[in-house]
Amino acid sequence: MPDSPSDFDDSADQRRRAVAWIVALTANIPPPASHRYARQQLARYQRGDITFAQLVVLLDTNVYQLLYRSRATYRPSEAQLREMLALARLHNSRKNITGLLLYSEGIFVQVIEGPEAEIRELYARIQCDSRHTQVETVSEGLLPRRQFAEWSMDFDLAEAPEVERVLGAIRTQHPLPALSVVNTRLQTLLQAFIG
């Protein structure tokens, strides 16, 4: 097995070995559904449609997206939610992060997207934030473009049953038959992950 991806050239045999090398590296990591984009690019490389250098650029220059849910450790007031949102928007605009925050009866649901290092750093802070408990990653991975580019952080209140139905559909990657979603932000979230 080669020491690094740079040891590969673009012959068909080398492509097969490169894919085997990548698969071996990620064998114990369960891929979330949103890693679709990375798998598509890897398949393009394996077919010989793109070079290894192009694959690296495609995977390196794309947006990283993470969707999580958590339980609030207290019931925030409307003023506290507005303050939290103002701080998030300020931070996110500085770090080139976009997304959507939903709140429902003590549950936060948030999607954040941007440079992978920034998203991972923000998520680590969220996981340690005393306002959250039971932080659960629903989906994460690379995408070719932002899905929430127009929002440094959009916000809405949502009904708990509707939130749970949408999260269930996203987790399984199968919209439930006749899944009726009234909240427009939840519709946007569902479309972004199952679309």
pLDDT at 14: 74
Mean pLDDT by 10 residues, the chain (195 residues): 51 71 58 59 82 75 88 92 90 89 92 92 94 92 82 86 87 70 85 77
- Which two three-digit tokens encode residue 126? 């969220």
Query: What's the CA dihedral at 156, 34, 50, 25 to 10 degrees?
Result: 140
Residues 121 and 90 occupy one common structural domain: yes
pLDDT at 1: 45
Q: What separation, in Å, do the N-terminal and C-terminal C-alpha atoms of the chain show? A: 38
Question: Phi and psi (nearest 5°) for 63?
Answer: -90, 145
Residues 13 and 85 occupy one common structural domain: no
CATH assignment of the domain containing 135: 3.30.70.100
pLDDT at 122: 95
Residues 56 and 67 occupy one common structural domain: no
DSSP state of 173: T
pLDDT at 34: 44
Residues 21 and 80 occupy one common structural domain: no
Which residue, of 36, 60, 84, is where some domain finishes?
Answer: 60
pLDDT at 176: 59
- Write out the residue range of the structural domain in which residue 26 sits: 5-60
Residues 56 and 87 occupy one common structural domain: no
Residues 9 and 49 occupy one common structural domain: yes
- CA dist 122 and 118 (Å) reads 6
Residues 111 and 15 occupy one common structural domain: no
Residues 39 and 117 occupy one common structural domain: no
What's the total number of domains in the chain?
A: 2
